[in-house]
Structure 1
């Protein structure tokens, strides 16, 4: 069995995010692994906000929106990492924009991660069959072991 050196934790800033980080942190403590928290600004969110602004005939800058949203999420992620991981656990965070499952897969590949920790339910808190849409896609395509947390 391959040693776990890097753990990617898919964080959507939902109520389940602290639990995902707690599990990743517990595994990290035993393995001495780095935890890489990943959050993705969904392309559909940006498109939806742009549509609303267009309907209201208001100016919209996707570049400005992404910058503001990245800042907001960076602050939220820092707080989550501080409160959910033991201090001595090596950590980093990445905030991406695009299609969530594609971006998480990209981070897993770039970081050469050994494990992905995600939640079966996410920001929408809706059940889609057995797993959430993003979770299900990740489960089918990720090239490493996956720990899926159920609420």
Structure 2
């Protein structure tokens, strides 16, 4: 079982930052993990200084001003830690940069090389509707490290505009979605590690997709003899046995209370439905499904889950099978 030794928490001092730090510090405390805090000052905060200096020459030393911005941001982060997580003051490494948030976060991931990135599904804009192409989605899509996208399921809505502050919640139930792709062993490994350090129950799920059922039905021999009920009964048992073997191979046999469930339907809809029925606190997914494309690009199922899941989503990195 692969342990995580370093973690990078991305915060912007929005309402979502205490929740992000809450998850990061809770994992760090339970797993003896070193925490790096990443914060990006958007260019829009510095652009007026450059423009004013260009037009009026009233402040030539823009570098001094930018350094002041970075120092102020670091002070604010330390104040937040002192207020909400005093046991971690002076126990983290803070990195402040300036630029486009998504690009800077991805650059920091490459420089620091964390085993896990923790980031909220929303940021400073606190938009009432979820915008596709946002920094959060961009990082989720292109980050090469495993990424935990945190959100508060108690107040999560795509059109949420309330005033409640998101909070980190205790991890009691972990749901790992496995599709027998090359990523599946790593999904079980990371989910097992998370269950081990958090003391949570682990639930492993698989979905027989409607596309697979349609393909089998159209190619069934003899023709017109396909029995859906009988097929699902046998296929669910076959997949249950396969998952049990993979769980054993992953070294999770000794983990208490592992449950397996096999469903059928549209994968992302079933995964979200089961997570709601279980009351899951975290979903663990691969970076994509069965596609063997050499180019890293998230599968549509993963992206839909990111956009619609009310619970945190841990998406593994693309290099987990190399």
Question: Could you state the TM-score of these two structures normalised by the residue count of structure 1?
Answer: 0.91
The equivalent of 2:248 in structure 1 is 82
SS at match of 1:53: coil
Partner of 1:62: 228
Aligned to 1:20: 187
Map 1:117-136 → 2, pairs under 5 A = 117-126=284-293, 130-136=297-303
Give SS of 1:71's match.
Answer: helix
SS at match of 2:219: helix
Kindly indicate whether the alpha-carbon contact (under 8 Å) linking 1:121 and 1:127 is maintained by their aligned counterparts in 2. no
Bigger Rg over Cα: 2
* Structure 1 residue 45: Cα displacement: 0.7
- Structure 2 gaps of 5+ residues are 1-167
- Answer whether contact 1:33 1:90 (CA < 8 A) is retained: no
Q: Secondary structure at the residue paired with 1:79?
A: helix
> How far is 1:57 from its partner?
2.9
Alignment root-mean-square deviation, CA: 1.9
Q: Please report the TM-score for the alignment, with normalisation by the length of structure 2.
A: 0.44
Number of equivalences: 150
- Describe the superposition over 1:107-139 as per-residue Cα deviations: whole angstroms up to 9, x where unpaired: 110011100000012123347983111111111
Deviations 1:57-81 (A, max 9, x none): 3521111211121111011011112
What's 2:122 paired with? none
Q: Any idea what the Cα deviations from partners look like across 1:67-109, whole Å, max 9, x if unmatched?
A: 1211110110111122222613431011001111011001110
